[in-house]
């Protein structure tokens, strides 16, 4: 059976060139990068070369790059690190209502320690209004964290404008750029950010490795305690193969981005139009233009996302839903609720995300089979009968 992967936002396969670049660091260059001997120094060289590539890509300095175990650790370090380092100054944090759990959960944890969080609302497209952020700032605010693009609906936030406001008010500003790095241009000065998270496995690098960019002078308590790696900012033996793979993945994205964006945007729009045209009573979630080039998120009324996913999977198509499947609860995604979808429509949502190896024929296959699946499920749906 043909297998079609339309879930690149969940994770990407490793690019074969990335794997090739990593291989020597598992085998002959396996040394501990903190060791003085030549084995260690070879590993260190690979790490520092990667650091330079990543810094350049982000418009940052090499010493502002902290290697972590992924997006989640970068987000946790940014949120808890800033909160704990600025405790004397204030205890108020601002995030949006549609952040990834890697941002909202550390905030919840900090609330137990006496910090307060304000969640600014988003509009029906999932956009944050920078003026709402401005209004939420108090003299106790120590951190603002707003994601660059949303992982479910793909909406891209006005980060640069929010960053300008944060700078004017002297508040540290973090963005979770896990969904944008490698897919659209990301420059820390243009975005006016102090801290930025990224993750290797979202742009054809390996899993379990990421970066926290921290602008020079940003007050940050360490998150991982132990050895003195990363200028005493993050302990644990260097993941040399992962870090080298991350650098290689960035280089490939840099080389391919313009072309990939163009191709994926066209394919995305054909996929969205195809779904909306071929299946009655479907809606697009997120903004039609201000969205990631690879993201399509639609709600199909009267049926459940999970049933559609299972049926798609039987035909070899891998996608994702914003409904209960991501957790053990029956609550639909907080993102879909935040953009104002009623529960029953949020439950019927599907996310299709494209990537480096997506083809026109993948979308043809989807557009051939999805309408049939929907028709079959609707025929069995009591909600559809009642309408
Ligand atoms: C995937 C993702 C994360 C988590 O990154 P990991 O490397 O899997 O820990 C955080 N934020 C966003 C927006 C993501 O899409």
Catalytic (active-site) positions: 325
Query: How does pLDDT run across 192-247, given as a tens digit for each residue?
Result: 999 999 999 999 999 999 999 999 999 999 999 999 999 999 999 999 999 999 99
C-alpha of residue 199 to centroid of ligand 1, in Å? 7
Specify the pairing of strand 65-68 against strand 210-214: antiparallel
Q: Which ligand 1 atom is the nearest neighbour of the CA of 75?
A: 10
What CA–CA distance (Å, rounded) separates 12 from 367?
Answer: 22
CB 223 within 8 A of CB 73: yes
Site to substitute for ligand 1 among 101, 151, 181, 333, most atoms within 8 A of C-beta: 151
Average pLDDT over residues 267-286: 98
| Ordered structural domains, the chain, with CATH | 4-11+257-386 (3.90.1150.10), 16-252 (3.40.640.10)
C-alpha of residue 218 to centroid of ligand 1, in Å? 22
Among protein residues, the one with the nearest Cα to ligand 1's atom 10 is: 71
Query: How does pLDDT run across 128-144, given as a tens digit for each residue?
Result: 999 999 999 999 999 99
- N residues, the chain: 387
Site to substitute for ligand 1 among 71, 103, 107, most atoms within 8 A of C-beta: 71
For residue 322, the model assigns a pLDDT of 73
pLDDT at 385 over 80: no
3-state secondary structure (DSSP) of residue 243: helix
Beta bridge partners of residue 141, listed in sequence order: 92
Using alpha carbons, select from 104, 85, 125, 105 the residue that is nearest to residue 222.
85
pLDDT at 366 over 80: yes
Element (H, E) at 175: strand 172-176
Interacting residues of 102 by C-beta distance below 8 A, sequence separation 6+:
71, 72, 75, 76, 176, 197
Is 72 close to ligand 1, i.e. is its CB under 6 Å away?
yes
Is 180 close to ligand 1, i.e. is its CB under 6 Å away?
no
The answer to whether the pTM exceeds 0.85 is yes
Cβ–Cβ contacts within 10 Å for residue 237, how many?
A: 12
pLDDT at 325 over 50: no
């Amino acid at each position: 059976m043909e297998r079609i992967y339309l879930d690149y936002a969940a994770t990407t396969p490793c690019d074969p060139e990335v794997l090739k670049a990593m291989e020597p660091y598992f085998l002959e260059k396996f040394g501990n990068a903190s060791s003085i001997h030549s084995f260690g120094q070879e590993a260190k060289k690979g790490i520092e070369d990667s650091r330079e590539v990543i810094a350049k890509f982000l418009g940052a300095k090499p010493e502002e790059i902290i290697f972590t175990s992924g997006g989640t650790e970068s987000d946790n370090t940014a949120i808890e690190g800033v909160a704990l380092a600025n405790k004397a100054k204030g205890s108020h944090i601002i995030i949006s209502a549609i952040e990834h759990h890697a941002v909202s959960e550390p905030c919840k944890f900090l609330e137990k320690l006496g910090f307060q969080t304000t969640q600014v609302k988003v509009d029906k497209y999932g956009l944050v209004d920078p003026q709402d952020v401005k209004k939420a700032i108090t003299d106790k605010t120590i951190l603002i964290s707003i994601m660059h693009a949303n992982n479910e609906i793909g909406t891209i936030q006005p980060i640069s404008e929010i960053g300008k406001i944060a700078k004017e008010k002297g508040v540290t500003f973090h963005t979770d750029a896990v969904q944008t790095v490698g897919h659209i241009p990301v420059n820390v000065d243009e975005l006016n950010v102090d801290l930025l998270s990224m993750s290797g496995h979202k742009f054809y690098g390996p899993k379990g490795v990421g970066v926290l960019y921290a602008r020079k002078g940003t007050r940050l308590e360490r998150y991982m305690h132990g050895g003195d790696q990363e200028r005493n900012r993050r302990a644990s033996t260097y993941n040399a193969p992962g870090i080298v793979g991350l650098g290689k993945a960035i280089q490939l994205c840099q080389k391919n981005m313009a072309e990939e964006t163009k191709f994926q945007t066209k394919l995305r729009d054909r996929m969205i139009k195809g779904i909306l045209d071929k299946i009655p009573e479907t809606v697009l979630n997120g903004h039609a233009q201000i969205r990631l080039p690879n993201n399509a998120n639609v709600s199909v009324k009267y049926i459940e996302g999970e049933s559609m996913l299972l049926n798609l999977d039987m035909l070899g198509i891998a996608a994702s839903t914003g409904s209960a499947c991501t957790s053990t609860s029956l609550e639909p995604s907080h993102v879909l609720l935040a953009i104002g979808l009623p529960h029953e429509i949020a439950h019927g949502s599907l996310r299709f995300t494209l990537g480096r190896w997506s083809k026109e024929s993948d979308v043809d296959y989807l557009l051939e089979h999805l309408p049939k699946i929907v028709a079959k499920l609707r025929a069995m749906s009591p909600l559809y009968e009642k309408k």
